[in-house]
Amino acid sequence: MRICRFDNDRLGVIIGDRVHDVSGAQDEIRKAAPYDMRGDAVIAALPQWRARLEGMAAAAPGRPLSQVRLLAPVARPSKVMGAPTNYRKHIEEMNHVAEAHVGGVRRFSTDIGEAGIFLKANSSLVGPSEGVPIRFPERRNDHEIELVLIIGKQGSRIPREQALDHVAGYSLGLDMTVRGPQDRSFRKSCDGYSVLGPWIVTADEIADPDNVPLSLSVNGETRQDTNTSYLIYDIRRLIEFASEYYTLYPGDVYYTGTPEGVGPVKPGDTMRGRSAPMLGELEVAVRA
């Protein structure tokens, strides 16, 4: 099943190229959720609501995807996490960038266990329709295409063999970065610098998350092209690793790392992420 948020916080199920509004379910789920719950109520409720959502979608008229504004498919994650050094060729590429932009310092570890993961501000999360506003046009602002997993079930110290039981689904994401000497999380948390979408594909539809093709083009030019089979920490290990430090909650967003080919963008550019036919296509405008 493909699930999206669109327009003014509407919930939709996508069938073919049309969005079917199931916002009545979202209203009911949120109304029943405790105000102080950690995580996203809709994501937490998906296992119990899935059959009803499918029934509601079948009964609702569809609207063409081209006529809706796609928002981030998760409204209230408790945290947005990122794996910084999870493709070997990207590590070497970014060490060269660091030499040029951070005073000649090679600071990117080749060991993700040593580097750890990082957090991005929840306020940086946007959907594809919102675009990426460049915060510092005088500095280098880079695109980073990634597979993103959405946590579906609470857990802490999750063993590898149970990791996928905690995944609600997968999405495409752009972990945008402004280069400079500041802390990584600081530079990656500008408004709009965590793009997520175009929708969530539920976990049952992705047979092997460690074999998902990813590509990104800018203005029609291919910049990044890879497969998650090249991840240093695979999806199970990423979940195990994060949960050693954090309790994971439904709706938590986890960017799994970007491959080589990272490059700068500027206002007026159009970025297009793709994972067909698995996750769809993410089209994002870069704006001032």
- Supply the pLDDT for residue 276: 86
Which pLDDT value is given to residue 212? 98
pLDDT at 97: 64
| pLDDT higher than 80, residue 191 | yes
Mean pLDDT within 122-131: 98
Mean pLDDT across the chain: 95
Q: How confident is the model at residue 193 (pLDDT cuts 50, 70, 90)?
A: very high
- With CA atoms as reference, report the closest residue to 197 among 44, 5, 9: 5
For strands 194-202 and 2-6, give the pairing: antiparallel
- Indicate the residue type of 142: D
pLDDT at 89 over 70: yes
141: pLDDT confidence band, cut at 50, 70 and 90?
very high
What confidence score (pLDDT) does residue 81 get? Answer: 98
Q: Rounded CA gap, 126 and 142, in Å?
A: 16
Q: Could you tell me if 134 and 266 are in contact, meaning their C-beta atoms sit under 8 angstroms apart? A: yes
Q: What residues does each domain of the chain span?
A: 2-71, 80-287
Instruction: Report the pLDDT value the prediction gives residue 111, as an integer from 0 to 100.
Output: 83
Quote the pLDDT of residue 206. Answer: 97
Position 216 confidence tier, pLDDT thresholds 50, 70, 90 = very high
Q: What percent of the chain has pLDDT over 90?
A: 90
Q: What's the rounded mean pLDDT across residues 11-30?
A: 98
pLDDT of res. 104: 54
Q: Is the pLDDT of residue 189 over 90?
A: yes
For residues 41-69, average pLDDT = 98
Go through 254-275 and write b for each residue having 16 or more CB atoms within 10 A of its CB, e for each that does not.
bbbbbbbbbbbbeeebebbbbb
Look at 176 and 106; give whichever has higher pLDDT.
176
Does domain 80-287 correspond to CATH entry 3.90.850.10?
A: yes
Stretch 163-178: mean pLDDT: 98
Q: pTM for the complete prediction? A: 0.95
